[in-house]
Chain A
């Protein structure tokens, strides 16, 4: 296990060095930023599936969970409702002239209103029936709170009763919570079917792969669904930079942005921080808690673990819940990156990339073996290979061939080394 962890880092460094030697733009700041971001996104699902693989199981449904969770995020956020529970009276109006001759209109009301947004309206009864004033939002004029209106206030009189009408969408964080809750439920169902009904993990999650992909397509009528522009502030936080990271030398190597010190600051994305948090938690769990020991024991020999009082069913269920939860989280993050979800293709094959990263990182599909740091390195190797193909101008069609060959090579080398060691021990 130790040796294999070293091996994957050697491979990672080799890919980066070779790609950089051939074409220095491999390490330009923009490229590094997307590399870190993509590694983080794929790293999250790889850690999830690695936990399942360590129990001796497999999860083939990850790509479909990503697509369904993405669709769900968009659809839940797009739920539109009108709030009309605030009634008050208009107390004052005023009009100001702009320099260009246009006018601005302001009004004040008796009670302090809930937070206002552009597009909210004040509805009142007039002789012609129900009318409305379209608002822009709250402003401060001469140290007092006023509400700016789009419409002229000719028909409005102080003392008039008005009802505030606000069109709202689901809060992004609420939508994320719902999506993650659903993802956890998916994992729970997988775990229960596998432990209580003794179905094979391959079969259960293969059915999941078909069902969740199908549900995503049914829900959207197979049409692409996109994020609201109203969500842009949430999106920019999640997909933005958490902090800047100084990297030496890359300015000179890539030929871009050469400064005197050669130090270049690159954006470290929020997704990268999320991966770090998840990886740290998984590493602590696996290496420092009794449950991590239970998980590896269950994967190595389920029967012997059970005979030693290990709650093997609970451990296996936990692994599937964690895997689906991380796939759901990745579904949210991918959707925010993409801005839209294509229900019939988004996330396809991602389970295979995740499994490949886990295997590259030292997990055995027989279970009982694996380490978080290796899995992240595995995900990084896959993304670096992909990026190298782009930067070196190799035709895109070669991507799967190259990744497949790299995976094959790593398992062959691993097996040869293992036999060599075994033969030396005898």
Chain B
């Protein structure tokens, strides 16, 4: 029995079910959405693609009532609506399935399905009816979990289906899926595709966000491409293929951020040999091998979730590896031990400076010296004179703008905080510097200064490996780019081969060079 009547006519109805008209949303320093429009018809699967930071997530949050846009409007069946909260969106029968699932592990499947809208009789939960209704919904999405099973006992794939079941049991007629297959195995993903197709056949409209272009070719009736918060392309039917999507995603005019001058390279500093880092998407990632020479700057690119940060963390001993070795200057670095990695000459400037990079309530000087205290001249005694000397040097060298060495880091700007995080590691005079998002949340002036420092360091013979989600940064800074896809190395590009399109093709898993067609694509899987 279907809750939704099948579409009465085969022709598209004249009014779209959901229409986004000229929506904009700005955050400090970024225009996340810039006059974005799209239309969604009943029973249609619309895929939304774009690079990291293209605005997909913000758009989804607008549709789900989590983010209120600065301007523009939403129309539901031709009538303008305003969502001020997720509740409003739910009332309008729009359901968002988050990438990180929004379920409660300690509750049962049925309790999760009806959380916040429990069926009750005089205030007493009607468990029997909820379980019945849950069983129906689960059956529709092909999930064999029992309604009274605890969610914690379910696999990620089953949880995904529970989320879908929750959406349809809310009578949602627009279901938004954000990277639904990112942690599913191939057969599990196949099952999900069938569910999506069944929903569409039931006249439910689906907005499908994925980095996996193969899935989109297979599922989507229509594709909308976003770039820098704008609509940049739309395709339907047999216009949908890998190359068209990739070139639409990356086709931006490039203005050079930085003029990298590669110094003469020295001896090989870092050798990574068949390193396998556990990755959430696939149980068996392809091993990663590469090496970096003194003076070289190597960029690591890839989409969100491709295992870039995990790779750096594994090199720095923050993560156990399955197999493979890391050598610095020929010496093997034992895995899973930060102090051994530091002793071996590695340093890591982490991605999230507030959580893992800095002690924000402590002073600039305390932060800069923290990683070097054990090797200070008078260790284990604190030598304040030594501290203020070395901090003074680094503050000057990196042009950190701070009132004094004793200022708390929290009161500095993002760019200066990042310089403090960098200074902490430069103080150790590392052999190999690893940077994860070296200029995230940093203003343009400080960005240039950080690039200048990295240029100088490479001229002094430091080997540098950095991860960045900003394509311009990768292209401007790297002598060589390694592109990861689902935890494994999909390809490597020299400075001459580097282009946004080339990087993006590897990032979405197309390994073959030359023109590929829709039907014959060499992939990295």
Contact = CB atoms under 8 A, between A and B. Distances in A.
B338 A309 contact: yes
B362 A297 contact: yes
B348 A307 contact: yes
A308 B382 contact: no
B355 A304 contact: yes
Nearest to B376: A290
Interface string B217-250: 0000000000000000000000000000000000
Interface string B366-383: 100011011010011110
Given A290-B374, A290-B379, A290-B380, A307 B357 contact: yes
Interface string B316-341: 00100000000000000000001100
B379 A309 contact: no
A305 interface: yes
A87 interface: no
B356 A289 contact: no
A307 B356 contact: yes
Interface in A276-328: 287-294, 296-297, 300-301, 303-311
A369 B379 CA distance: 22
B494 interface: no
Nearest to B350: A307
A288 B361 CA distance: 19
Contact of B382 (A288, A303, A305, A307): A288
B357 A304 contact: yes
Interface string B292-322: 0000000000000000000000000010000
A306 B337 CA distance: 10
Contacts of B318: 307
Contact of A304 (B339, B356, B382): B356
Nearest to B382: A288
Given A297-B362, A368-B361, A303 B355 contact: yes
Contact of B370 (A291, A293, A368): A293
A128 to B, nearest CB: 70
A309 B342 CA distance: 7
B338 A307 contact: yes
A424 interface: no
A390 to B, nearest CB: 40
B184 interface: no
Contacts of B359: 297, 300-301, 304-305, 368
Contact of A300 (B348, B361, B371): B361
A206 to B, nearest CB: 22
B424 interface: yes
Contacts of B370: 293, 297, 305, 308, 310
Nearest to A300: B359
B474 interface: no
Contact of B380 (A289, A305, A311): A289
Contact of B424 (A300, A308, A425): A308
Interface residues of B, number: 26
Nearest to A289: B380
Contacts of B411: 425
Contacts of B371: 308-309
A309 B361 contact: no
Contacts of B54: none
A4 B210 CA distance: 53
A66 to B, nearest CB: 31
Contacts of A293: 366, 370, 373, 382
B372 to A, nearest CB: 9
Residue with the highest number of chain A CB atoms closer than 10 Å, among B348, B357, B382: B382
Contacts of A297: 359, 362, 366, 370
A166 to B, nearest CB: 47
Interface in B422-472: 424
A291 B380 contact: yes
A368 B367 CA distance: 13
B358 interface: yes
Nearest to B340: A309
Interface in B366-425: 366, 370-371, 373-374, 376, 379-382, 411, 424
Interface core residue of A292, A307, A311 (most chain B CB under 10 Å): A307
B403 to A, nearest CB: 12
B356 A303 contact: yes
Nearest to A366: B361
A168 B78 CA distance: 99
Contacts of A300: 359, 361-362
B361 A306 contact: no
Given A300-B359, A306-B338, A309-B339, A289 B381 contact: yes
Most-contacted residue by chain A among B338, B370, B381 (CB, 10 A): B370
A296 B348 CA distance: 22
A300 to B, nearest CB: 5
A288 B378 CA distance: 11
Nearest to A369: B361
Contacts of A301: 355, 358-360
Contacts of A304: 355-359
A373 to B, nearest CB: 18
Contacts of B348: 307
16 contacts: A289-B380, A292-B382, A301-B355, A301-B358, A303-B355, A305-B370, A306-B338, A307-B318, A308-B370, A309-B338, A309-B342, A309-B374, A311-B339, A368-B361, A368-B362, A369-B361
The 3 closest A-B pairs by CB, nearest first: A290-B373, A308-B371, A309-B342
Given A289-B381, A294-B373, A368-B359, 6 more contacts: A297-B362, A300-B362, A301-B358, A307-B350, A307-B357, A368-B362
